[in-house]
Amino acid sequence: MLNQLANLFMETGFTMLTYKHIIMIGIACLLIYLAIVKEYEPLLLLPIAFGMLLVNLPGGNLMEEGGLIYWFYKGVELGIYPPLIFLGIGAMTDFSPLLANPKTILLGAAAQLGIFLTFIGALFLGFSPQSAGAISIIGGADGPTAILTASILDKELLPAIAIAAYSYMALVPIIQPPIMKALTTPEERAIVMGQLRTVSQKEKIIFPVVVTIVTVLILPTAAPLIGMLMLGNLLKESGVVERLSKTAANELINIVTIFLALSVGATATAERFLQWETIKIIFLGLFAFSAGTAGGVLLGKLMSLLTGGKVNPLIGAAGVSAVPMAARVVQKVGREANETNFLLMHAMGPNVAGVIGSAVVAGLLIAILG
Amino acid sequence: MLNQLANLFMETGFTMLTYKHIIMIGIACLLIYLAIVKEYEPLLLLPIAFGMLLVNLPGGNLMEEGGLIYWFYKGVELGIYPPLIFLGIGAMTDFSPLLANPKTILLGAAAQLGIFLTFIGALFLGFSPQSAGAISIIGGADGPTAILTASILDKELLPAIAIAAYSYMALVPIIQPPIMKALTTPEERAIVMGQLRTVSQKEKIIFPVVVTIVTVLILPTAAPLIGMLMLGNLLKESGVVERLSKTAANELINIVTIFLALSVGATATAERFLQWETIKIIFLGLFAFSAGTAGGVLLGKLMSLLTGGKVNPLIGAAGVSAVPMAARVVQKVGREANETNFLLMHAMGPNVAGVIGSAVVAGLLIAILG
Amino acid sequence: MLNQLANLFMETGFTMLTYKHIIMIGIACLLIYLAIVKEYEPLLLLPIAFGMLLVNLPGGNLMEEGGLIYWFYKGVELGIYPPLIFLGIGAMTDFSPLLANPKTILLGAAAQLGIFLTFIGALFLGFSPQSAGAISIIGGADGPTAILTASILDKELLPAIAIAAYSYMALVPIIQPPIMKALTTPEERAIVMGQLRTVSQKEKIIFPVVVTIVTVLILPTAAPLIGMLMLGNLLKESGVVERLSKTAANELINIVTIFLALSVGATATAERFLQWETIKIIFLGLFAFSAGTAGGVLLGKLMSLLTGGKVNPLIGAAGVSAVPMAARVVQKVGREANETNFLLMHAMGPNVAGVIGSAVVAGLLIAILG
Amino acid sequence: MIKEVIIIEKLAYGLNLTLIGLGTVFFVLFLLQMVMKAQEMLFAKKTAKQTGAMMDLDVNSESQKVANEQAANYNDDMQANILAAITAAISIYIEGQQRSYKVVSVRKVWDKEASQAWTLTGQQNILSSRDSF
Amino acid sequence: MIKEVIIIEKLAYGLNLTLIGLGTVFFVLFLLQMVMKAQEMLFAKKTAKQTGAMMDLDVNSESQKVANEQAANYNDDMQANILAAITAAISIYIEGQQRSYKVVSVRKVWDKEASQAWTLTGQQNILSSRDSF
Amino acid sequence: MIKEVIIIEKLAYGLNLTLIGLGTVFFVLFLLQMVMKAQEMLFAKKTAKQTGAMMDLDVNSESQKVANEQAANYNDDMQANILAAITAAISIYIEGQQRSYKVVSVRKVWDKEASQAWTLTGQQNILSSRDSF
Ligand code: NA
Ligand code: NA
Ligand code: NA
């Protein structure tokens, strides 16, 4: 019996526990704290952190072949979860602000600058092109896009990239304002934009179909993300399949989010996460968000110039996506400069354009580097 | 760099686009239009059409091994989705009208005539018995049954059969009335049917259990469809597992519908769909619906004769299933003949009987031809 | 044609029907009756019974490789469903009563006595240690725990164990009161317990994290059950991811319950179920519940003694889990002895502790015998 | 199986299948008709064929009953009804995404509120909403 | 592919990708801008730029309409409105977890209740809630 | 492993497992008890043991508060409450299957409606309901 007790004790996690596990458990608890108390993107970061916790309690083997989260992870490995999240996002997204002011879509392109500058930066920090591509997509400020791209280009870096992406999305209200203010004059920030035109239902219905055709024809590798995003939107805007769009935007996306986040978190083993690469990714991610914001604002300034001051350059900052946080930041900064300024709906245009933009870039990176 | 651009351009869908793709994209857009504007069975036809669109944008490879919809399609291939749809349909179906008037169940048998006459027709048009069986099931006027049968007997024809089945279900208000009127006299159509008796909860609970036992014992191959349909109905009628029956009738069926329809649509590649067979299937499908309607109405006439005019023969037309559209058509045609005529609940009996009837025929076709 | 009819007749279930099938169909119908009319744990027993019915209608082959329920069963085989049920249970469970009175957690340990005494009993009835372990877990009074353990230790016995576990959970109001009364004096049963302190939200949030760390470190094999239970609870208590906790506690658990119960029921083939082992399991299960109840009550008496009569020993009976039925039984028996006695919330402490307790024991049995 | 058969063979094959098929489906559905007839004789409500109350479609039976009751004492209890409506509406407004049992318990708590802040019976109501899995 | 390259090569590679990448994303999004412009010319509502009614966000349009209507005849139909609110609230209270269409049908049945216990039209309303799959 | 063992061996094996098993489960649950004790000392509310307010079961705390508030100014704001109830009931009637946040926003919009048709603040309310994934 003593023998058995000894054997059992050998199987406990305590005997296998190393200082690395303890650090990882600490990081997981910190992320749980940030998700709950600071409300850092809790929908993703809370289950990610819990997955990280579970996988770093030694002996559980939940990620070993046949383990529970090993099965959940299949949906990440096969590239199924991120498009399903996009299906739900599509069913929640209203493209009206973009349709009402088409030129703001270009701000969603300019904000992708952050991705490419980060790519160059990552190359210089010694990453391979594949790893650099995976890291740079953090600048897309879009969780599912980042997870899909990283899982294809370099899955070793997946947990660090996912955590960095969601953390910086939560930190958008801290990261963006200084850059926005540094690049604009108080007069520019005070620009009031005219009311948006009414968008007909017909336009809203045709839009997702045309976006799918145009985007997938040019960049077939963007099909899973763009296709599902636009299918979700079509289900919503069509108005005839409400039960499908509601389910896509609620129960289906919730179920997939639990599985996705838990299994992404569970890839964050100590061996994989406690590396210099993680530190580098954290810095590169911050740079990516900053550069993307700058890219958007700078094109905003150019647009302001060309339209004779009809565009408030701040709305360019929303082009990074981080929906709807970045648009709210624009609203706040705009109102600081001018009490009567309501930029929210104008910022929603580049904001949703940024989702399309980074999905296009993801398709491109996968096509070139994948 | 020019080299890379050239390579990238080679990977775009434009370079691979043929006139066949363009035709298929056009058909997909037409179906989207019909689903949204004409409300042709949008729950299925809208995602089917979108799947068709996605798979005909070349290069996306969503149906190639490892592609996104390739994984969704597994649920069709393994025969999982249609029974799950039936689970939800069972949890939505009220068999009271049938239980209140048991003899109307035979109208649900007579309307299967369409299936068998179509089978003969398909043989003469040169189809193999397997293909003919798959095509003939369109006459069952029941989407999940048609998809399951076609995916087993001849999956090459699956997209055409599914699209024909749902299209004609949407067209029931146009297809059925002329046939109904041609086969009945105004006096017959004006027959008012007596009020239905009250059905006790006990009868409603026992019914699904007995149907399962009787049907599966006689025709074991009908087990997946009949078994799930009756499980769903038992969950609903039992009254003790409301949370399960609600989920089966809402979120579960919605999720499965998205996956099923998207992946059935994605089987409609140009090579497979732009064939003479598709044209033939469209004609055979129309014939199947017409012959089924005639079969039901003719037995209705016989019943009317035998009961001394207590049965309005129109309700036989509802035996094709196409729930609840065919029953509404009966109500409308009946009211045209007699303002005070309310046939709706009487037509619901053969209507739900038709679902059981075509599932039985599907089991038979699979047993003999599969 | 006669030939074909003969062949078809050969394929009907009637020709394959044996008296064993008829007995199994009878048992399935009895369970359906108990689930609906007597409300014996209908959420599980109704679909379990229907699965049993389907698999005993010969020829359906739903559990053969490629059959419908064969695929559903994969989630049992891979150990996926029970942890997902626990995720939902966690999102429904309120640990406040336990946090308000921490010492009652030990009652949830004492009630596991039933498991171990049953293990010894099963050894003496000739079962192998693995089988004995699988059977003894019935004493955990927790369906998902029993199903997971039995599917790992001895899947031949799975259906009998699952049915016994849920049946006795439904019979707790009949099994427990005599034992509770036999082991306590009227004075003990009349003890009024003081009001519970208020539990802060902070405690409720930290609790699931700490339970996960402590339990999984000591017993890594308990990780799937405890990890998911605590994740569900954390999602609920965090208050920041309501859409995830609602989905886990509703649609997700409902969907998984349908698949789990249907496929567990479908393992109950005549060959497997109509064995002496099944009879033995039924007796051992009853013994397990009784011994568990006694274990809890006896520690309750000791606690009552040590605290100078501040603990009503009845609440120990709730330590078997069977949430929330066992706690309600405590309330009822307590009130019989003293009209002013409200033990419900005090019994909820050991009740939820029993869930943790039996998950720990399951982990232990899997570690030692698996 | 058969590839090139002459017309007569195809027709024979097709009619053969039609006969077997229609025979089977009529046989099965006729059996079910007999089952339903038997059920009717055993279980049918004696109060059938009442005018104006044809089918007890379960969707409505319960609501109807309550509606009738409410209608009955509408004038007497107008104030109480308004109160109930407001309470229910507000609780739905607050509880939102949460499900029925919550609304039920909230209303019960409201009833209790009138007399006592938070009773143990209230706890029991809440507890009973936990389904067992 | 490339492991050890000198700085100039990395920079060239990175700038290369940046040009191709930004070029592609601007090209695609510019095409989409043109598409939207074309749509605007074809389908845009003529009543645009009305003050105070900027975006017909579908979330609210319907509710607003009803709310407006309700507000309009609020004084006239106060009694009826209270009745409707009570009915709706009660039916929600009862039906709970059940979904929208039930509440809808319940209210319709209530309307019927006033005149007739249970009409066939009522059945039709209920029936029409069955989606076809 | 073991197939044919004599009674004493079975008993020894069983008791052995019982001791290890009960020992382990008591050990784990005792540790958790200590954890809870520690938590209590660190975080427990000071306002504990108030009569009539025992457990802040989160299911009800919020509703209770609102109910209390509503009860407080019931007589004063009767009209307003009826209006709110009607609005909420109607919006639920209309929105049906849609979820809580919609109903919430609808009511906010209604509030705005009284003063202004469609304000930008209203847009912000709606926007804030979009969860970020
Ligand atoms: Na982006
Ligand atoms: Na049919
Ligand atoms: Na237990």
For residue range B346-355, list pLDDT tens digits in order.
999 999 999 9
Between the CA of A358 and the centroid of ligand 1 the distance, in Å, is: 4
- What are the start-end ranges of the H helices in chain D? 7-43, 58-72, 78-95, 100-115, 120-127
Q: Averaged over B223-240, what is the pLDDT?
A: 97
For D58-91, what is each residue's pLDDT tens digit?
333 444 444 444 433 333 344 444 444 444 444 4
Q: Averaged over B124-147, what is the pLDDT?
A: 96
Cα–Cα dist C154/B143, whole Å: 41
Q: What's the confidence (pLDDT) of residue B179?
A: 97
For A313-339, what is each residue's pLDDT tens digit?
999 999 999 999 999 999 999 999 999
The ipTM value here is 0.85
Q: What's the confidence (pLDDT) of residue F69?
A: 42
Whether E59 and F126 lie within 8 Å, measured CB to CB: yes
Q: Averaged over B246-269, what is the pLDDT?
A: 97
Whether A92 and F132 lie within 8 Å, measured CB to CB: no
Please enumerate residues of F whose Cβ is less than 8 A from a Cβ of C: 1-3, 7, 10-11, 13-15, 17-18, 20-22, 24-33, 35-37, 39-40, 43-45, 47-51, 53-59, 131
Task: Identify the DSSP state of A251.
Answer: I
Cα–Cα dist B233/B245, whole Å: 8
Q: Averaged over C15-37, what is the pLDDT?
A: 95
Instruction: Chain B: list its partners (3+ Cβ pairs within 8 Å).
Output: A, C, D, E
Angstroms from F130 CA to nearest CA on chain C:
12
For residue C352, which ligand has an atom nearest its CA?
3
Burial label, D56 (beta-carbon count in 10 A; 0-12, 13-18, 19+): middle
For D105-118, what is each residue's pLDDT tens digit?
223 233 333 333 33
Using CA atoms, how far residue D47 sits from D44, D69, E5, E116, E123, in Å, is 9, 21, 91, 19, 20
Measured between beta carbons, which residues in chain D are less than 8 angstroms from residue F88? 89-90, 92-93
Cα–Cα dist B155/B161, whole Å: 10
Measured between beta carbons, which residues in chain D are less than 8 angstroms from residue C257? 133
For residue A136, which ligand has an atom nearest its CA?
1
Q: What's the confidence (pLDDT) of residue B117?
A: 97
Q: Averaged over C330-345, what is the pLDDT?
A: 94
Measured between beta carbons, which residues in chain E are less than 8 angstroms from residue B3? none
Between the CA of A285 and the centroid of ligand 1 the distance, in Å, is: 13
Which residue in B66, B340, B119, B346 sits closest to A152, CA to CA?
A: B66
Size of interface A-B (CB pairs under 8 A): 111
Whether residue D50 is predicted with pLDDT greater than 50 in this model: the reply is: no
User: For B72-78, which contacts have Cβ atoms below 8 Å and span 24 or more sequence positions?
Assistant: B72/B259, B72/B262, B72/B263, B72/B266, B73/B263, B73/B266, B73/B267, B75/B256, B75/B259, B75/B260, B75/B263, B76/B147, B76/B151, B76/B158, B76/B260, B76/B263, B76/B264, B77/B151, B77/B155, B78/C66, B78/C71
Asked if B322 has any chain E CB less than 8 Å from its own CB, the reply is yes
Cα–Cα dist B178/B290, whole Å: 10
Whether residue E69 is predicted with pLDDT greater than 90 in this model: the reply is: no
Whether residue B83 is predicted with pLDDT greater than 90 in this model: the reply is: yes
Residue of F20, F98, F132 lying closest to A41 (CB–CB): F132
Whether C213 and A25 lie within 8 Å, measured CB to CB: yes
Higher-scoring residue by pLDDT: A57, E56: A57
Angstroms from A175 CA to nearest CA on chain C:
23
Size of interface E-F (CB pairs under 8 A): 74
**Percent over 90 (pLDDT), chain D:** 21
Residue of F53, F89, F100 lying closest to D117 (CB–CB): F53
Collect all residues with Cβ–Cβ distance below 8 Å to B253 and sequence separation of at least 6: B84, B85, B87, B88, B89, E133
For residue A139, which ligand has an atom nearest its CA?
1
Between the CA of A356 and the centroid of ligand 1 the distance, in Å, is: 7
For residue C111, which ligand has an atom nearest its CA?
3
Determine the length of chain F.
133
Q: What's the confidence (pLDDT) of residue B278?
A: 95
Whether B11 and A227 lie within 8 Å, measured CB to CB: no
Higher-scoring residue by pLDDT: A197, B178: B178
Whether residue A87 is predicted with pLDDT greater than 60 in this model: the reply is: yes
Between the CA of C234 and the centroid of ligand 2 the distance, in Å, is: 48
Per-residue pLDDT for chain F (133 aa), expressed as one digit of tens each?
545 557 888 999 999 999 999 999 999 999 999 999 999 998 865 544 443 333 333 334 444 444 444 433 333 344 444 444 444 444 444 444 333 332 222 233 333 333 333 344 444 444 545 678 8
Nearest CA in chain A to F17: A1
Cis peptide before C177 (omega within 30 of 0): no
For A349-366, what is each residue's pLDDT tens digit?
999 999 999 999 999 999
Q: What's the confidence (pLDDT) of residue A1?
A: 58
Higher-scoring residue by pLDDT: F126, D104: F126
Task: Identify the DSSP state of C196.
Answer: P
Between the CA of A251 and the centroid of ligand 1 the distance, in Å, is: 25
Compute CA B211 distance to the chain's CA centroid, rounded to the nearest angstrom: 20
Angstroms from F124 CA to nearest CA on chain E:
12
Query: Domain segments of chain D: what residues?
Result: 1-59, 60-104
For B173-186, what is each residue's pLDDT tens digit?
999 999 999 999 99
For A297-306, what is each residue's pLDDT tens digit?
999 999 999 9
- Alpha-carbon dihedral sign for residues A75, A76, A79, A81: positive
Angstroms from C24 CA to nearest CA on chain F:
31
Between the CA of D76 and the centroid of ligand 2 the distance, in Å, is: 52
Any idea of the CA torsion for A369, B5, B10, B14, to the nearest 10 degrees? 110
DSSP class per residue in C119-174: HHHHHHTT--HHHHHHHHGGGG--HHHHHHHHHHH-GGGHHHHHHHHHHHHHHHHH
Higher-scoring residue by pLDDT: B152, A198: B152
DSSP class per residue in C316-342: GGGGG--TTHHHHHHHHHHHHH-TT--
Cα–Cα dist A25/A32, whole Å: 10
- Alpha-carbon dihedral sign for residues B190, B195, B201, B205: negative
Measured between beta carbons, which residues in chain C are less than 8 angstroms from residue D24? 8
Whether D21 and B100 lie within 8 Å, measured CB to CB: no
Whether residue B219 is predicted with pLDDT greater than 50 in this model: the reply is: yes
Q: Averaged over C267-271, what is the pLDDT?
A: 93
Measured between beta carbons, which residues in chain B are less than 8 angstroms from residue D39? 99, 202-203, 206-207, 210
Task: Identify the DSSP state of C41.
Answer: S
Whether D68 and E113 lie within 8 Å, measured CB to CB: yes
Structure confidence at residue B260 as a pLDDT band (50, 70, 90)? very high
Burial label, B66 (beta-carbon count in 10 A; 0-12, 13-18, 19+): exposed
Size of interface A-E (CB pairs under 8 A): 148
For residue C321, which ligand has an atom nearest its CA?
3
Which residue in C175, C173, C137, C167 sits closest to C154, CA to CA?
A: C137
Angstroms from F79 CA to nearest CA on chain C:
33
Look up residue B352 and give its two tokens.
């739900």
For C143-180, what is each residue's pLDDT tens digit?
999 999 999 999 999 999 999 999 999 999 999 999 99
Burial label, D131 (beta-carbon count in 10 A; 0-12, 13-18, 19+): buried
Look up residue C179 and give its two tokens.
């034992």
In whole numbers, what is the pLDDT of chain E averaged over residues?
A: 57
For B42-58, what is each residue's pLDDT tens digit?
999 999 999 999 999 99
Place of tokens 């944008």: B57
What is the CB-side half-sphere exposure of residue A195 using CA atoms within 13 A?
16
Using CA atoms, how far residue B222 sits from B173, B341, C322, E118, F89, in Å, is 29, 36, 38, 38, 46
Cα–Cα dist D111/D125, whole Å: 12
Cα–Cα dist A114/A317, whole Å: 11
Q: What's the confidence (pLDDT) of residue E4?
A: 57
For B300-334, what is each residue's pLDDT tens digit?
999 999 999 999 999 999 999 999 999 999 999 99
Residue of D53, D85, D100 lying closest to E89 (CB–CB): D85
Collect all residues with Cβ–Cβ distance below 8 Å to C136 and sequence separation of at least 6: C115, C116, C118, C119, C122, C284, C288, C365
Q: Which of A15-19, A147-151, B305-309, F93-97 has the lowest mean pLDDT?
A: F93-97
Burial label, B15 (beta-carbon count in 10 A; 0-12, 13-18, 19+): exposed
Whether A62 and C227 lie within 8 Å, measured CB to CB: yes
User: Strands (DSSP E) along chain B, which ranges?
Assistant: none
Q: What's the confidence (pLDDT) of residue E7?
A: 85
Nearest CA in chain F to C94: F57
Whether residue E106 is predicted with pLDDT greater than 80 in this model: the reply is: no
Look up residue A307 and give its two tokens.
């339209």
Residue of E97, E106, E113 lying closest to D100 (CB–CB): E97
Whether A119 and E18 lie within 8 Å, measured CB to CB: yes
Q: Averaged over E51-61, what is the pLDDT?
A: 38
Measured between beta carbons, which residues in chain D are less than 8 angstroms from residue E118? 52-54, 64
Which residue in B188, A241, B210, A149 sits closest to C29, CA to CA?
A: B210
Q: What's the confidence (pLDDT) of residue E107?
A: 31
